[in-house]
Amino acid sequence: MNRNLGNPNTQGPFGNTLLHSAVVSGDISEVHRLLAAGADPRIANREGLTAVRVAAIFGHGDIHDLLVRSIPA
C-alpha cells in the first residue's frame, strides 16, 4: 500500500516533524521511510533541536548515524 504523506517536513505546533516523532520512538523503519519521502533531518523544532540531535539525546545511535549519513555534504 502506498500512502501519500504530503510534505514530510511539515512542522506541528512545537516545530516537530514526523521525523522527530519517529526518532523519539526509536522506529528506524519509519525513519528510513520518511527519509526516502524527502524528510529533512536538519529541521529544528521550537527548542532548536533537529532530529539528529534528538537521536543523540535519546541514545538512538543507529538512527543518529543514519540521519548523519543522509545529510548532503
- CATH label of the domain that carries residue 28: 1.25.40.20
Q: Which domain holds residue 66?
A: 18-70
Predicted model pTM? 0.90
pLDDT at 73: 79
pLDDT at 1: 43
Residue 3: band (very low, low, confident or very high) from pLDDT cuts 50, 70, 90: low
Q: How many domains does the chain have?
A: 1
Structural domain contains residue 2: no
Does the structure show a pLDDT above 50 at 67?
Answer: yes
Structural domain contains residue 62: yes
Assigned C-alpha cell, 14: 512545537
Q: Give the integer Cα–Cα distance in Å for 20 and 31.
A: 9
- 3-state secondary structure (DSSP) of residue 21: helix
Q: Give the integer Cα–Cα distance in Å for 35 and 28.
A: 10
SS (H, E, C) 22-70: HHHHCCHHHHHHHHHCCCCCCCECCCCCEHHHHHHHCCCHHHHHHHHHH
pLDDT in tens, 4-40: 658 999 999 999 999 999 999 999 999 999 999 999 9
